[in-house]
């Protein structure tokens, strides 16, 4: 098993049954300490990663969280950490465009937001990932495979702070035994306490049930 210990399982059960007995801010702090896994961005951008063989992938999510994640991805891009930004293609439409006289597709909306943040259109790539109950798992599987196939050395992942630990655990499992370095960066969006508790139990499910069942072809026995 990876990532979490039996202490986490005990804490998880306690959180579910006795959260009302704890101070909400203290519980929030404990949960965030377990859910956040990020890189020191300033050190990364000033170090050997600059001008390297790197790619940025923005984890999928709702429109509001994506806007925040796009901002972080744009900072990495503009500072030269990577020259290409990958995002998950999302079917469907979103807000109305008076310029086009119709609703934007979700992908058109994403392109507009990224271009406004200074990312060139030619450097934006959509990746089609089949929808499934295990969203982050499927993203990790697809993007890890693409990263290895194209020979990238660094994979820069951008997601919400409370989602970064699950992202790191998932991609680490998929890329086990490869020469790809994973760097996880957090956006500035937030979530309420209930959202943190839900994310914590998702993390437990991934670490104790889902990820141990996955056999990476890159793993070294």
Chain segment 47-74, per-residue pLDDT in tens: 556 556 899 999 999 999 999 999 999 9
| Range of lowest pLDDT (2-6, 113-117, 125-129, 133-137) | 2-6
Give the start-to-end residue ranges of the domains of the chain: 38-190
The CATH number of the domain covering residues in 38-190: 3.40.50.620
Residues 58-85 as b/e (b if ≥16 CB within 10 A, e otherwise) read bbbbeeebbbbbbbbbbbbbeeebbbbb
CB 39 within 8 A of CB 183: yes
pTM for this one? 0.85
């Amino acid at each position: 098993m990876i990532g979490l210990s039996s202490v986490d399982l005990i804490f998880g059960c306690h959180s579910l049954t006795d959260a009302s007995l704890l101070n909400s801010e203290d519980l929030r702090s404990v949960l965030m300490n377990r859910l956040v896994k990020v890189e020191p961005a300033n050190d990364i951008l000033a170090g050997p990663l600059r001008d390297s063989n790197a790619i940025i992938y923005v984890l999928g999510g709702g429109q509001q969280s994506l806007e925040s994640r796009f901002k972080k991805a744009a900072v990495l891009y503009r500072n030269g950490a990577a020259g290409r930004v990958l995002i998950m293609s999302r079917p469907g439409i979103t807000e109305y465009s008076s310029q086009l006289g119709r609703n934007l597709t979700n992908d058109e909306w994403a392109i507009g937001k990224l271009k406004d943040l200074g990312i060139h259109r030619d450097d934006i790539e959509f990746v089609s990932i089949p929808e499934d109950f295990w969203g982050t798992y499927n993203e990790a599987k697809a993007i890890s495979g693409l990263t290895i196939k194209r020979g990238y050395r660094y994979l820069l992942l951008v997601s919400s702070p409370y989602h970064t630990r699950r992202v790191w655990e998932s991609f680490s499992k998929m890329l086990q035994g490869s020469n790809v370095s994973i760097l996880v960066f957090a956006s500035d969006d937030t979530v309420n306490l209930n959202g943190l508790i839900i994310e914590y139990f998702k993390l437990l499910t991934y670490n104790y049930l889902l990820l141990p069942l996955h056999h990476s072809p890159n793993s070294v026995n």
